[in-house]
Structure 1
Amino acid sequence: MRVISGSARGRALKAVPGMGTRPTTDKVKEALFSMIGPYFEGGCALDLFAGTGGLGIEALSRGMDKAVFVDLEYKSIEIVRANLRTAGLEDKAEVYKNDAERALKALAKREAKFNLVFLDPPYRLKHGDKLMSMMDQLGLLHPGATIVLEYESSYAYPERVGAFAETRKAQYGETAVSIYRYNEEDHEPPVQEPGEEA
């Protein structure tokens, strides 16, 4: 596993020990970035189930100004930090140990906004669409933001999720990738919880 292109091209990245994480293969990563880039002129990325940090690091290497990495596992956080050091990109990164939903709420409080988001949750979790809707409601995305959703190819997400429209979809063995574009004009109003005052 390595950084494929950009400023950190060729740097080898460590994998997380054990079988709990499923790093995106170099082949899928290369295809994915050819769909969404392949290079960027600045912007901020969010790698929400970071694992090794490979996707966020690749985005930084290809021109993103900044990336936020989030994972719930200590091992993953340590590997992300090590891989950022190897790639020479620590100064462009923030790394947090948190679960996805709590992390999104914390980022919203800081008024963070992202141009590119990687969602690669464990295959048993089928809540990519829920997380996308949550990012919309929390105001975490710039207009035109790109969401990269990676999931098990036997599963299918809808082509439209609120303010998000699927623009590309590709399958690589048991892995599927859907690319969504965020259109703020299609924004869904926040869902009021029962008992909440308007």
Structure 2
Amino acid sequence: MRIIAGTARSLPLKTIEGKDTRPTTDKTKETLFNVMQFDVPGAYFLDLFAGSGQIGLEALSRGAAYAVFVENSRKAASCIEDNIHFTKFDKVSRLMMTDAVTAVRTLEGKYKFDIVFMDPPYNKELEKEVLITLSDSDILKDDTLIVVEASNDTDFDYLTELGYEIVKEKIYKTNKHVFIKRA
């Protein structure tokens, strides 16, 4: 696993041993950042369920102004911390070791994010819980882009009642990226 573009291009990243995380493949990551390419430069980026931190680090490498990484696994948080130091993004990032909902509530009044990315464990409806919390949070701007990585069978029918709309969807073999904005 590596950073694929930008100032930290080609730097290898540590990953977590075991099956607790699913690192995003380079091809999927490239597709994701092609969709977000004009949103990333200068952005405040929130990486929820950050795993190894590769998505937030890729955003920083591609010109995001600041990234907050949220991970509740001690082993994964340690990996993120190592990757932040290795890529020299210490001054433009923050790591929070907590769950995503608590992090959103803690960040209120402190940050306004341009992009929120989340890659929660599949089929546990954790993305729904976070989207509900975000729906009345002040960490979103009017045009914040929320990206959820989910299994292909994850249902997002509830988005309209929370005040969101799907602006784009990228479907891969086993998962998808759902691009969401406030309606």
- Does residue 156 of structure 2 align to residue 138 of structure 1? no
d(CA) in 2 for partners of 1:38, 1:138:
24
Q: Which residue of 2 aligns with 1:96?
A: 96
Give the percent of matched residue pairs that are identical in Structure 1 and Structure 2.
32
Contact 1:154 1:174 in 2 (8 A): no
Q: How many residues align?
A: 182
TM-score calculated relative to the size of structure 2: 0.93
Q: 1:164, 1:180 within 8 Å by CA — same for their partners in 2?
A: yes
CA distance in 1, matches of 2:146, 2:14: 25
Question: Which residue identity does 1:116 align to in structure 2?
Answer: I
Alignment of 1:1-198 (within 5 A): 1-37=1-37, 40-108=40-108, 110-158=109-157, 160-161=159-160, 162-183=162-183
CA distance in 1, matches of 2:157, 2:169: 11
The answer to whether the 8 Å contact 1:41/1:63 transfers is yes
How far 1:72 moved relative to its partner? Answer: 0.6
The RMSD of aligned alpha carbons is 1.6
The 8 Å contact of residues 150 and 177 in structure 1, kept in 2 or not, is answered as yes
Mapped partners of 2:71, 2:16: distance in 1: 12
CA contact (8 A) 1:166 1:179 kept: yes
Structure 2 residue ranges without an equivalent (≥5): none
Query: d(CA) in 1 for partners of 2:84 and 2:114?
Result: 20
> TM-score, normalising length from structure 1?
0.86
Contact 2:45-2:68 within 8 A present in 1 as well: yes
Between the aligned partners of 1:55 and 1:149, the Cα distance in structure 2 is: 12
From the CA coordinates, give the structure whose radius of gyration is larger: 1
Deviation at 1:38, TM superposition (A): 5.3
Secondary structure of the structure 2 residue equivalent to 1:148: strand
- Runs of 4+ aligned residues of structure 1 deviating over 3 Å after TM superposition are none
| AA matched with 1:154 | D
